[in-house]
Structure 1
Amino acid sequence: MDTNIYQHFRNDERPFIDMVQDWVEQVNMQYAPVLTEFLDPRQAFILETLVRQETELSFRFFGGYEAAERRRCLIFPEYYKPVQEDFEIELFSIHYPKKFTTLSHGKILGSLIGTGIRREFLGDIISDGENWQVFVAKEISHYIQLQATKIGNVKVRLEERSYTDILTPKDDWTDEKATVSSLRLDNVVGTIFNISRQRAKQLIETGKIKVNWTPMQRPDFLLDLLDIVSVRGFGRLQIQAIEGTTKKGKIRLTLGVLRK
């Protein structure tokens, strides 16, 4: 693998790049598939970039359903023919008293992580507006069923379901075009959600913004391809393409935007 690959990515992505290199080496040495944990879209992009350099290896992503954001990846030798079961993903429905409370993505995620489960073992959390489901790595499915008995102060029960029972997610993502003066986090958030850069900076510094599901408190953080930004109270955005610059030097973006 190209030892200069680091220069194409952010410094804070080096540990993940090293991890991908370890997975690739393992497949090459053992000549057997390696299954990753759940990856966010940015991590999936990095993995794909690196594995494509290995001409004798293939890969496939799967997150439990076709439109999944968080997906596991199977890296395998050319001879191998993967099947869905190789991805070891379980689906759980969350049963809760719907007449007396409502759930949210943030509440569910926070409560599941509060049981000691690492984010990398959790896939998408989806809803049809009332019912909720979560995809989890098979290796922690028994643990999560035993430990996840409350979401916030609400008693819940997780029930394992088959793939034929997957909800149809209620999703209002829209495709949008925008031009920005820079890829700084505060600048992109301010432009897309039509707020001042100072207000965007305040949201970042007070912990109300996440990049790829990780809290980010640096207004000058530079976004890149496939990053997902969550802005509490405003919604989410994903940079889907960086399409060059205008004559005035502004950066053209294609984005997915989910507005609250």
Structure 2
Amino acid sequence: MSVKDYLLGRYPGDENKYFIGRMMEYLNRCERNKQRVFTDFLHPLQVKIATELARSQSSVQLGFHGGFEDAERRMAVFLPEWDSVKPEEFPVEILKITDRGWGRTLSHRDFLGALLGIGINREKVGDLLVRERVCFAAVHRDIAGFVETNLERAGRSSVTVERVAGEDLQIAPKYSEMRITVASPRLDSVVGSVFGLSRAKSAGLINSEKVKVNWDVCNRTDAALQQGDIVSVGGKGKFKVGEFAGTTKKGRSIMVIKLYK
């Protein structure tokens, strides 16, 4: 079975089919021309698919950068095995969008909607980090100037836009940290413990495909979570699995959980 057929079977759906085909084109172009090929911003499931694809070809490697530390949406680059790439070589710009209004505080949805509203494709936009009345947006370099010139409003507020150096930003993560103890790192156990649900209720959410692990729907209640996994639960929230901090005297696992606000 070819890697393309495997990926199409593993990740069904028209959107994934189109994405896999596009990544195959990028990989083949890199191998054929022996030069770097950059993608637009990818969400975590696409990052996973691209990584699996790149592993199938020893002459091509893959790099990622999202503009921020621990970025979820990241740009990928296919490059020859002998090449290397630095973060500043990715075509990523950080825009500081400042709310100049005096009304309600703008949300992530407001800022994203404003960008899409001036004709920007979602794939050209990475993570948006909203702090008080400022949004730091990672965008593709080829649309940064357009956004600076044309983005004037978000929600009902006027905004200003300027480019900033991503490496100079020190933005605190927007999550609360908690520790839980579970018999094992099963998905249903962890989801139940994080959100205060019974095992039956957390299993019901999983079975009804309302739970995603690393952006991929997971309907296995016994799926074992690992450090770094990102879990989103419809109607409840999203968290990241931190370190495994040992065991209790009764042998239960202690897990550090980062719950996104």
Q: Same fold (TM over 0.5)?
A: yes
- Equivalent residues in 2 for 1:224-243 (5 A)? 229=232, 231=234, 234-237=236-239
Counterparts of 1:58 and 1:122 in 2: how far apart (Å)? 24
Counterpart residue number, 1:249: none
Letter in 2 for 1:118: N
Q: Is the 8 A contact 1:33 1:75 kept in 2?
A: yes
Q: Is the 8 A contact 1:127 1:168 kept in 2?
A: no
Query: Structure 1 residue runs of 4+, over 6 Å off?
Result: 175-183, 187-191, 209-212
Deviations 1:177-233 (A, max 9, x none): 6779988xxx997875346959x98xx9xxxx8979x9xxxxx9748985653756x
Counterpart residue number, 2:113: 110
Residues 122 and 138 of structure 1, relative CA distance in 2, 3 Å threshold? same
Counterparts of 2:176 and 2:120 in 1: how far apart (Å)? 28
Q: Is the 8 A contact 2:98 2:160 kept in 1?
A: yes
- Equivalent residues in 2 for 1:97-246 (5 A)? 97=100, 99-174=102-177, 192-194=194-196, 222=219, 229=232, 231=234, 234-237=236-239
Q: What are structure 2's unaligned runs of at least 5 residues?
A: 244-252
Aligned length: 236
Q: Is the 8 A contact 1:60 1:73 kept in 2?
A: yes
Counterparts of 1:181 and 1:99 in 2: how far apart (Å)? 46
Counterpart residue number, 1:9: 10
- Structure 1 residue 62 corresponds to structure 2 residue 65: yes
3-state SS of paired residue (2:41): coil
Counterpart residue number, 2:76: 73
Deviations 1:116-162 (A, max 9, x none): 21111111111344532111000111122222211111111111112
- Structure 1 residue 85 corresponds to structure 2 residue 88: yes
Q: TM-score with structure 1 length normalisation?
A: 0.72
Q: Which moved more, 1:169-178 or 1:89-98?
A: 169-178
- Out of 87, 93, 98, the residue aligned to residue 95 of structure 1 is 98
Following superposition, the deviation at residue 51 of structure 1 comes to 0.2
Counterpart residue number, 2:247: none
- Structure 1 residue 42 corresponds to structure 2 residue 45: yes
Q: Is the 8 A contact 1:235 1:257 kept in 2?
A: no
Q: Is the 8 A contact 1:94 1:157 kept in 2?
A: yes
Residues 58 and 240 of structure 1, relative CA distance in 2, 3 Å threshold? farther
- Of all paired residues, the percent bearing the same amino acid is 23
3-state SS of paired residue (1:37): strand
Residues 257 and 84 of structure 1, relative CA distance in 2, 3 Å threshold? closer
3-state SS of paired residue (1:54): coil
